[in-house]
Structure 1
Amino acid sequence: MIRSLLLFSLLISLTISAQTKSFKSALKKAYFYEKTEDFLLAKKVFEIAQKDQSIISSEKVFLRHYILFYDYLLSDMEDIKNIDLAIQYLNSIKKRNPFETELLLNLSTSKYHYLASNTGWEASLEVAEKSYKIKDFNQAKLETRTDYLYDLGYLYDKVGNSFEGIKFYKKSLALYIKQYGENDNEVALNYNNLAYAYTNIYNQKNTIAYYEKAAKIWENIYRNKNNDKDYLITVYHNLIFQYINYGDIENAKKNLLKLNNYFFKKYTSIKSIDNERYFLSFSDFSLSNIRMNLALNQKDKALQFLKDFENNQLLPYKKENHSTYLIQCYEEIADYLIENNEYSSALNLIEKGLSLSKKYTQLHFSVTLNTKKGKVYKLQNNLEMALKQYEIAQKNNTKNYFNSSKYTLEYLKSEIYFENNQSKKSVLNIKNTIEQLLFDLSKKKKTIEKIKFSDVKELISTDFINLFYKSGKIYFQNYKKFKNRNDLQIADNLYKISNKLFREYYLKGEYNEELSKYHSEIIEGLFEISLEKKLTFQEKTELINEIERSASQHLAQEFYKKIKTQNNESNLNLDKIKELEKELHFYKSQTKINSKKIAIIESNINSLLKKTSKTYQGIDKNSLDNFDVVNVQNTLDSDELVVKYYTLKNYVFALYITQKKFEIKKIASTSVLKKEIKFYLNLTKKIDKNRLVSNNISKFLLPDLNSKKITFIADGFLNYLPFETLFNSKNKKFLVQQSTVSYDYNLSFFLFNKKSKIKIDSDALIAFAPNYKNKELAKIRSGLSDLRYAKEEANTISNLFDGTSFLNEKASKTNFFKTINQFGVYHFAMHSLLDESNINESCLVFSNNEKLYFSELYGLSFPAKMVVLSACDTGNGNLKSGEGIMSLSRALTYAGVQSSVYSLWQVPDKETSEIIVSFYKNLKDGQTKDEALANAKKQFLANNPMKQHPFYWAGFVVNGDVSPIESKNFDWNIIGAILIGSILSILVFYLIKKRNQNKLFHQ
């Protein structure tokens, strides 16, 4: 059908350009037969026309080569020689007619399709590129050029250059839209392929965006039509897979509902399911439902879908590709079972998969399934059987192209050797495996000691991230056993390569469990090695920079996006910069460096950067991609300390940064410290008659905290801890009584807040204190009882700053939305509700119990100077690996709030009000936010000797930009008025005196 369309386009073009009646008549007849796909009769028409004396010689030559094209279409052997002869003829014409250009492009299309099937993608692309570069390309018909550009996009994507592929997809997309409008199947297919191309350059944002565009068009097209090819089922299947991998379970669920709806809507009768398309759609349906249920930990439902898939009598499993889907189902569930220690059930599914792979000779499945089988035996400490399974997998790994299984299996064997006390054999096997990998990539011999990231920079997958850091782990274990410094150096290098691969693999979005696991394992290895190596200052700097640059950027990106929006940035320019930066990275990572291309891209980036504001340039300079720990050090005062914690699998490490140095230290066992902090927090959140001291956790955390000003950047479970409650048993003081304490989410934020002063138009304050339906006064700010002191607090603060207050009924959600971006400081004295199982259900509660949810806060553009959440548990929530606590306060940062004050537990109403009012009075005096809060707590401790327990005073902390709200300088308006008044008084006095002197003189 595609060939018919191509020939139809050609015939139309020739009809327009024909010079003789007989030639035109022959074209018309050929078109008639072409329409019925009778190429043989069409060929006879041209053969008869060649004998017509009225047809001129140039037309006969053209017809002869056209007949060669028909011969190719009619031949089962697909003899490419005829196509080559026709192409040579058309290329020899110095000035082609449009119909000749048209034929040349169609011949080229046939040739590169042939080469793609018989030779390879590279050879196919070479032919396609050659005809694309002809000078008269644009005189071919629009339809032909559009299809040709689309094919170029596909070919570039296939050879691994998706950046060029995306360019050609976008060119063809513009032309498709020009011809058919946005709501067209060809446009949707182009969007779908663009999505796939973006997966290859690790841009998940665009992958999802373009799949969504394709889905939207197909929704419009097939709303009232039969979707023969089930495009909607396919695209929702792809979106479900993407969203599950991204960790966005809610969107995955929405897309699954759509997929299931279309599947059941179409396949309702025996007639509708008796075709090949049904099998493909049923496979997508089954796999998507299995994946979704496993992601939701609903194993039984996943197993039921598997059973239905197995028992479907309409699935023709006699075909090899059909068995492929069933084996995939077995693998998906087996992986889940292995992770949950259900080894017997996992082995049962693996055996079923192996049976099918053997029956249909699908050896690639034998490799993956035997590897999983080996993993089960290893987890059961049956090392001999595990090794045997890995060796079986190796024998079946007969792929003649580069694949990760070859190297992964060797590593897994090395792991078993090491556990069997064959450490030398283990290390030697790792050495040989890595060196073989290097040879396979470059065809050059290179030792493991000399490996560089540039040698393996294209291996951006979890398989190779695992290979390098786990190989580094074996070398490090061997070093600890034999103290061979060469092993230590190799281990360090392998971990660093793994970290750089992880950085390339990470999509810059929200961390998930898998990303956090990889990052944590790599960091722990690097820190352990650093303590053994005793790093120089420069080596420490490089290490910390590498670690921080691969950390989660999701929160920072959301915050910066809202800040840029507030500063009227051109979103179009910013998007272009990000796209160019990704393209630049791709070209710099190639084996053959295209210096000219790199220079052009860099020039374009610099040109766009000049059009952005200083705010964006500051963000770009201080972002995690460009992070430098030395810049943090340079912003600190002599009495200032920044502590960044890393809670890893086995140990907690800390990075201490001061003006003169920074140090990396191992603090404690992760399991021990976690247990101690959990116990301590349980005591802290309730009132105990005995004065609470924190000796157990203080011995781990307090010794190095001796600066006047300390900023904590916590990680993992340490986010729950108010560090100011650490108690020094020697001087009998809490940390808050000897240091000013504040918090930040990451080092990039800290640096940005220190160096970049963002302009917020308004300095005004607004306070909200609602009433609640339950009029019983609450002692703590939990539940939904009325809060007496919260209203007094809001009034006092509002009066102090000549601000605005919304009390009782006026403290509504509607009024809050009306005031967004009209004030610089927002104060919420109200209840909040915490849902740790689903953070999106956590909320602030306004008047009439109106709820402002986490998800709503997250989506706002709300770049205020400061928001004070004078409510319970606003800093608490679900702890997400690699991200921190998903809390209401964190949602504010997502929204663009520069600094926030929030609570870590259910705080008491009266005492909270006292501390918060004191905090604002200190701010009014010009103190920084961290000083103001620290002094408010000190004042409370001094004024309330019977309320020394941290429950009363330690619940609130400040996070983010700690710069003052009010300047410490005098009010220059008043001073100016006084000075002017004084000067005028002196001047009047002088004139009067002068006048009197003059009078005396004349007398």
Structure 2
Amino acid sequence: MKRFLILLFLLLGLFSFSQTKSFKVALNKAYDFEVDENFVKAKNIFKSMKDGNEINVSEKKFINNYIIFYDYLLSDRSDVKSIDNVIKNLLSIEKRKYYETELLINVITSKYHFLASNIGWKEALITAEVGYSLKDFKQAKQETQTDYLYDLGYLYDKVGNSFEGIKFYKKSLNLYIKKYGEVNNEVALNYNNLAYAYTNVYNQKNTIAYYEKAAKIWETLNKNSNDNKDYLVRVYHNLIFQYINYGDLEKAQLKLIKLNNYIKKKYQTDVSKSENTYFLSFSDYSLSNIRMSLALNKQKEALQFLKVFEENQFLPYKKTIHSKYLIQCYEEVADFLIEKKEYETAFNLIKKGLSLADKYDQKQYLVTLNSKIATIYKFQNKNDLAVKFYTVAQNNNNNTYFNSTKYTLEFLKSEIFFETNQTNKAVSIIKNNIEQLLFDYGQKKKTIDKLKFSDVRELVSTEFINLFYKSGKIYFQNYKKFKNKNDLQIADNLYNISNKLFREYYLKGEYNEELSKYHSEIIEGLLEISLEKKLTFQDKINLINEIEKSASQHLAQEFFKKITTNNNESNVNLEKIKELKNELNFYKNQSNSSGEKLNKNKIIEIENSIASLTKKTSRTYQDIDKNSLDNFDIVNVQKVVDKDELVIKYYTLKNYVFAIYISSNHIDIQKIATTHHLKKEVMLFLQQTKKVSQESFPVSKNLSVSLTKDLNAKKVTIIADGFLNYLPFEMLYDAANQKYLVQKSRVSYNYTLPFYLFNKQNNITVNNDKLIAFAPNYDIKTIATVRSGLSDLEHARKEADLISKLFNGTSYINEKASKANFFKTINQFGFYHFAMHSLVDENNINESCLVFSNNEKLYFSELYGLNFSSKMVVLSACDTGNGNLKSGEGIMSLSRALTYSGVQSSVFSLWQVPDKETSEIMISFYENLKDGQSKDEALANAKRDFIENNPMKNHPFYWAGFVVNGDVSPILEGTNWWLYIGIGLAMALLIFLFRKKLF
């Protein structure tokens, strides 16, 4: 009987709390009307059921709550108390059904929307957190959860906790993509907001990545229609700012073109300019063009955009947002003028900005504008006034959330105190500043000497890169003054943290002035500190690895890409791998603070696809993939250095030139000269050398002492930097032995240490080991003495003919040495010899070229874009190693373009080489290669023979201009005569013994 009663109770309970069919139908209809925001019809459906007998008691109670909610939605939504009882009723239910959870989440959403609009962001967030903390939150519809998570991200971002905001944006993004796919407006908005949130936490790398994602989606969605809300304008504007700040002006200009085209197309008439979207879009347009003009040093153009913006009749400054853009324009132009030392004009713009900021209560600009005034006073050596206005800026910085301004302003004050010999005060300010940053950022009470990179690893922005290395600089200068070892340790740590942040910040593309500036100052600090410390061998390893991993990877990436696309493998596969790796990196970056990965299945899917495609590529590509530049280790370099070899890596930095000497069993770091003095000597030496002046000898002795002190290695590999790229080191003169470096050492060059390592570890094969030579004729029949201009090169033609015959190769002489014939032969030969003229334009490297027959020009940009993975190219022409010196990258030259195209080694010239003498050296070089000598040995011996055979032409002008860069391994196996002699003797002995046995 007891069992029966229990069962009856359970059945009654199931009946009274289960969902009736008519209620389910009504609920689904109401949901459909809700999608279209037709709350009247939704409410009528429930009203018609309320008094009927088709639904149970709990459903009637639920409907009453829902009707109250609909009444709120149909009102002006000003009386939020009307839905408080609904929230209270639904929260009181212990085990909510899915539709009760759905209603509860929606009602809470309406409440925090009201609070956000009428009370404040913090109050809204407190209410929103209630809904997310519900145990049955995931019982709500997926789209409801998604929107709620997105709102939480937005609210956290608004209250200044962008780290939590990012976490919720990513959670909602995952659900959005799952429901709608990638190409959807909601997904794009989520990417856009994520980008903005990353701006707030100073992670520029992710900021750019997410803005680019959003832009790509909106471009797809609006390909054949208008973007009514001008989302594209916003995202282009943001990307332009980010790329300019990063220093990538080329990408910024591409985005600006898109932005300008959009504005011109949409807002052509006065009617279109009356649309609500026009003000913000025109503001973005004006500010972006001003920024770009200033970045390109076009001051007049920027001022013209500013004038038009100020005078635009459609832009009445009646609201706070209206004044914001004009103040920003004043700031941008003022910054530019301050750099130009046009302080008075800058002051006038700052005053205009302050006037607007006061009038429209734009307090954040009172911070930035007053700090600019302080900067002007600092540059004018009015330090008391500078400190005063930095303090005014700080007092106006009322942001309660984490921001870089607070710490930057404090540091700038410390810098002034340090420069005015108030050392202790300056260091104390920095110490407190960094410790306060740690507390504000991670809520950690930590002293500066305990700071770790992991504490600040997300602060990937120029603001914090600057803050850490400049703080380290003051600590280091303080150490040099008082010799406190703790200061040295703190300085070292701050520089290392800055270097690691820089590595995260660097997007692996081509270096620009900004990147080079940060990198150079950080590396100089690390090397300076290393000389003060007693570094162990492992310390040196760690230091060099840290430095090299932060260097430009652009050249290496282009080279590796090219050498793997001509080995009978599909270019399509390589492009797919590249895209997939970018996508993989993107999804892997979508981790929350605990390290948990979102989109795990997506990541696994991408990794499997990459692995599958990689198996289809060449062994070469797979080897490169395993040994990426990010995994560079100097230990591996030491393993491949020959016993009689010395590798010298130079760093030409802001103040000093450093050298790292690497042998198979030793590493040494030295500061060798001041940059200014050494550059002056090198340029004077080169100037004298090119004039065949005997005055170059004493200067050469001085340079030898600086650059190759106590150098006795038989083989030297030079990895130059900056202006040292112009110098052929083999012409340096050893006064003690009265010999040039080439007379006692084989000298070769490499662009980077990773390149050197790659060339040593990888013997890349090409499909054809044959040689081809090109030697055009030219219209001007005057016989040339040097390979410059476009006059006839008699000896060059003889050179090409003899070399091709020496290797049973092919030669294109005179008219046949055409640009068209070169393109026909690409990758059909392993070795290419160009005996011809070249033209070098140092102002515009893309105009530099090789000149084929009929004066046809092969330009730098064409070479750069080729897939030309030959084993060796010899540029027997003038100045092929010269060009524009680009900070952080090296000399943009024709020879460098060959490396970009995939050429494994090149021989090139560093000045206008003489025609006859060049021909003699080149023929000797190839004869040595024919004998099986390595490329560096073959060129060194050719130069030695020339010096010995031409005592009247032993001046470096005649023989030192050509250098070999890259892989120096032999192109042919030499004849091993000792092996043949041994075999011959063995055979003779066998014959003798056999004959003896017979008799």
Q: TM range, normalised to the smaller chain?
A: 0.7 to 0.9
* Counterpart residue type for residue 420 of structure 2: N
Counterpart residue identity of residue 835, structure 1: D
Alpha carbons of structure 1 residues 133 and 887: separation in structure 2 relative to 1, 3 Å: farther
Which residue does the alignment assign to 1:458? Answer: 458
Select which of 51, 75, 78 maps to 1:76.
78
Q: Using the alignment, how far apart are the partners of 2:20 and 2:853 within structure 1?
A: 83
* 8 Å Cα contact 2:204-2:461 kept in structure 1: no
Query: TM-score with structure 1 length normalisation?
Result: 0.85
Measure the CA separation in 1 of the matches of 2:422 and 2:30: 80
Deviations 1:183-236, CA, capped at 9 Å, x for gaps? x766766776687789857158855753663464256223xxx54323443343
The residue aligned with 1:550 is: 550
Check whether the contact 2:688–2:695 (CA below 8 A) recurs between aligned residues. Answer: no
- Report if aligned partners of 1:460, 1:501 keep a CA contact under 8 Å in 2: yes
CA contact (8 A) 2:105 2:131 kept: no
Q: What is the one-letter code of the residue matched to 1:653?
A: F
Task: For residue 585 of structure 1, report the CA deviation from its aligned partner.
Answer: 7.7
Identify the range of structure 1 (740-749 vs 487-496) with the bigger mean alpha-carbon deviation.
487-496
CA deviation after TM superposition for structure 1 residue 677, in Å: 1.3
CA positional deviation for 1:388: 0.7
Letter in 2 for 1:713: I
The superposition leaves residues 735-779 of structure 1 with CA deviations (integer Å, 9 ceiling, x where unpaired) of 111111011111111111112223333322222333334444433
Tell me how far apart the structure 2 counterparts of residues 369 and 455 of structure 1 sit (CA, whole Å).
31
**Contact 1:831/1:872 (<8 A) preserved:** yes
**Equivalent position of 1:241 in the other structure:** 241
Alignment correspondent of 2:441: 441
Q: Equivalent residue for 1:713?
A: 719
What's the CA shift string for 1:622-649, capped at 9, x where partnerless? 4442222222222222221111111111
Q: Which range moves more in the overlay, 504-513 or 283-292?
A: 504-513
SS at match of 2:772: strand
Give the match's secondary structure for 2:489. helix
**Cα displacement string for residues 901-940 of structure 1 (whole angstroms, at most 9, x for unaligned residues):** 1221222222222222222221121111111111111122
- Pick which of 69-78 and 577-586 moved more: 577-586
Which of 969, 972, 982 lines up with 1:966 in the alignment?
972
Pairwise mapping of residues 758-777 of structure 1 onto structure 2 (< 5 A)? 758-777=764-783
For residue 879 of structure 1, what is the aligned residue in structure 2? 885
C-alpha separation in 1, matches of 2:250 and 2:748: 34
| Counterpart amino acid of residue 926 in structure 1 | G
Matches within 5 A, 1:554-573: 554-566=554-566, 568=569, 572-573=576-577
Structure 1 residue 812 displacement after superposition: 3.2
Indicate the residue corresponding to 2:284 in structure 1. 284
After TM superposition, list the pairs within 5 Å mapping 1:530-679 onto structure 2: 530-566=530-566, 568=569, 572-573=576-577, 576=580, 592=594, 615-616=620-621, 618-620=623-625, 622-679=627-684
- Partner Cα distance (2:446, 2:365) in 1: 32
Give the root-mean-square deviation of aligned CA atoms. 4.3
**Contact 2:772–2:831 (CA under 8 A) maintained in structure 1:** yes
Rounded to whole Å, the distance in 1 between the matches of 2:281 and 2:654 is 42
Using the alignment, how far apart are the partners of 2:212 and 2:812 within structure 1? Answer: 40
Q: Which amino acid aligns with 2:944?
A: K
Q: Does 1:821 align with 2:827?
A: yes
Give the match for residue 488 of structure 1. Answer: 488
TM-superposition CA deviations, 1:829-888 (whole Å, max 9, x none): 222222222222322233333333222322333222222222222211211111111122
Distance 2:324 2:776 in 1: 60
Amino acid aligned to 1:914: E
**5+ long unaligned stretches in structure 1:** 1-17, 998-1003
Instruction: Report the equivalent of 1:812.
Output: 818
2:216 paired residue among 213, 217, 241: 213
Q: 2:271 aligns to what SS in structure 1?
A: helix
Aligned residues of 2:374 and 2:389 also touching (Cα < 8 A):
yes
Distance 1:100 1:843 in 2: 74
Once the two structures are superposed, what CA deviation does each residue of 1:358-402 show, in whole Å capped at 9, x if it has no partner? 222222211122222212211111111111111111111111112
Per-residue CA deviation, residues 970-1000 of structure 1 (Å, 9 max, x unaligned), is 599x989x99x999x989x999x99xx9xxx
Which residue identity lines up with residue 341 of structure 1 in the other structure?
Answer: K
The answer as to 2:872 corresponding to 1:866 is: yes
Give the CA deviation at 1:345. 2.0
> In structure 1, what residue type is equivalent to 2:481?
K
Describe the shift of the 1:177–1:546 C-alpha distance in structure 2 as closer, same or farther (beyond 3 A). closer
Q: Check conservation: 2:848, 2:860, Cα contact below 8 A.
A: yes
CA contact (8 A) 2:153 2:164 kept: no
Moved more, 320-329 or 781-790: 781-790
Query: C-alpha displacement at 1:718, in angstroms?
Result: 0.9
Does residue 685 (structure 1) correspond to residue 687 (structure 2)? The answer is: no
Write the distance in 1 (CA, Å) between the matches of 2:519 and 2:468. Answer: 13
**Contact 1:366/1:396, CA 8 A, preserved across alignment:** yes
SS in 2 for 1:667: strand
- Is the contact made by 2:208 and 2:239 (CA closer than 8 Å) also made in structure 1? no
1 CA distance for matches of 2:867 and 2:805? 27
Unaligned runs of 5+ in 2: 1-18
Q: Is the 8 A contact 2:513 2:887 kept in 1?
A: yes
- In 2, the alpha carbon distance for the partners of 1:790 and 1:931 equals 23
SS at 2:277 equivalent: helix
Please show how residues 80-159 of structure 1 align to structure 2 within 5 Å: 81=84, 84=87, 92=95, 118=122, 134=138, 159=163
Equivalent in the alignment of 2:15: none
Q: Does the aligned pair in 2 maintain the 1:581–1:605 contact within 8 Å?
A: no
Determine if contact 2:827/2:868 at 8 Å carries over to the other structure.
Answer: yes
1:467-516 deviations in Å (ceiling 9; x for gaps): 22222222222222222222222222222222222222222222221221
Letter of the 1:213 partner, please give it.
Answer: K
Distance 1:48 1:302, change over 3 A: same
Identity %: 61
Higher mean C-alpha displacement, 636-645 vs 347-356: 347-356
Answer yes or no: is the 8 Å Cα contact 1:122–1:159 preserved in 2. no
What displacement does 1:819 show? 2.9
Greater RCO, 1 or 2 (C-alpha within 8 Å, sep 6+)? 2
Amino acid at match of 1:855: S
Secondary structure of the residue aligned to 1:220 is coil
SS, match of residue 826 in structure 1:
strand
- Cα offset for 1:286? 0.7
1:907 maps to: 913
1:295 pairs with 2:295: yes
Q: Residue 736 of structure 1 is aligned with which of 732, 742, 766?
A: 742
Q: Which residue of 1 aligns with 2:945?
A: 939
Question: Does the C-alpha gap of structure 1 residues 730 and 615 become closer, same or farther in structure 2, counting only changes over 3 Å?
Answer: same
Instruction: Tell which deviates more after alignment, 955-964 or 772-781.
Output: 772-781
Query: Cα 1:614–1:25, aligned 2, differ >3 Å: closer, same or farther?
Result: closer
Q: Does 1:412 align with 2:412?
A: yes
Per-residue deviation at 1:31? 7.0
In 2, distance between residues paired with 1:349 and 1:752?
54
Quote the offset at 1:609 in angstroms. 6.5
Matched, 1:791 2:794: no
Matches within 5 A, 1:164-175: 169=173, 172-173=176-177
1:602 shift after superposition: 11
CA distance in 2, matches of 1:197, 1:827: 55
Q: 1:389 to 1:52 in 2, by over 3 A?
A: same
1:855 is matched with which residue? 861
Whether contact under 8 Å (1:639, 1:707) holds in the other structure is yes
Over 3 Å counting, the alpha-carbon distance change for 1:329 and 1:150 in structure 2 is: same
Please say if residues 907 and 964 of structure 2, whose CA atoms lie closer than 8 Å, have aligned partners that are also in contact. yes
* SS of equivalent residue, structure 2 residue 953: coil
The 1:185/1:792 distance shift into structure 2, 3 A limit, reads: farther
Report the number of matched residues: 957
Return 851-860 or 606-615, whichever deviates more.
606-615
- Evaluate the alpha carbon distance shift between residue 729 and residue 480 of structure 1 in structure 2; reply closer, same or farther with a 3 A threshold: same
AA in 2 matched with 1:680: F
- Of 190, 201, 205, 1:202 maps to 205
Partners of 2:554 and 2:621 lie apart in 1 by 17
SS of match in other structure, 1:885: strand
Equivalent residue number for residue 760 of structure 2: 754
Moved more, 699-708 or 80-89: 80-89
Q: Secondary structure at the match of 1:276?
A: coil
CA contact (8 A) 2:640 2:760 kept: yes
